[in-house]
Amino acid sequence: MKIFIDGKYYSRADAKVSVFDHGLLYGDGVFEGLRIYNGKVFKLKEHIERLYFSAKAILLDIPMEEEDLENAVIDTVKANKKINGYIRLVITRGEGLLGLDPAQCKKASVIIIVDDLQLYPEEYYKKGIQIVTAPTRRIRPDSLDPRIKSLNYLNNIMAKIEAKQAGCLEAVMLNSEGFVSECTADNIFIVKDNEILTPAPYHGALDGITMRTVMEIAQSLGIKTSESAITRYDLYNADECFLTGTGAEIMPVIKIDSRLIGDGTPGSVTDYLIKHFRNVVMA
């Protein structure tokens, strides 16, 4: 494995950052997760654009031009000879002092990791998964905009722990008003009366690249989509439910908080989207 750190490649054993890096000390930084299909990075420009938007929102200067960073990602994939895999692109505030002031960090660090990834066994895509509602609420959008993909994921990690404690792989997170925002690492969708609905970013949902791709696919197939206010009642009474994310792709959900969704099997719309999504990414 060759890991890119600030313009140089390191082995996994030698890839290190300073203990004074603000990404480590305070979760001060941003990141993107990307997929490699057939040797190509899927939606690279969109991910890079979102990374720079996140960095701008937290006043973090990425020490590379967008085109140069795109090329660095592509070169790191080639250096690792990956045909299919996962990329973690991380920008930390950089090395500083033991204090919050980011001005003490002279230069941000750029890290690119290319590796394998399989979040769920293949059988789950055929049978679906069960999820629960997490007691931990999503951070309010007026405190931290959910469109910022920051290194501080403690809010999501706590909800993930609660999911695991309930014997599930994922959990639904509600916002402070009780509306559905997202899952711990994925966007969530429901299908009701042949319409696809997903929470809007202002309800605490990440503006997901895979989420947008799925909505574009659905619209091209003539399926109505919308970003809406969704409650647990809506989840329980949905005809279908599925999750989307870079790692998960499209994952059917068949039970939420012990309530069967539809007939308890992945729905036809979900199956249809999975097939079309895989055609798109492998094209």
**Residues annotated catalytic, as ranges:** 149
Q: Specify the residue for token string 């999504």.
A: 277
Return d(Cα 3, Cα 10) in angstroms, integer.
5
CA nearest to 51, candidates 28, 32, 75, 67: 32
Query: Who contacts 191 (Cβ-Cβ below 8 Å, separation ≥6)?
Result: 197, 238, 239, 240, 241, 242, 267, 269, 270
Q: By CB neighbour count within 10 A (0-12 exposed, 13-18 middle, 19+ buried), where does 131 fall?
A: buried
Q: Are 189 and 249 in contact (CB under 8 A)?
A: no
The answer to whether residues 244 and 210 touch, using CB atoms and an 8 Å cutoff, is: yes
Two tokens, residue 180: 């559905």
* Count of Cβ atoms closer than 10 Å to residue 246 Cβ: 21
Residue 131: beta bridge partners? 170, 256
Determine the Cα–Cα distance for residues 181 and 230; give it in Å rounded to an integer: 8
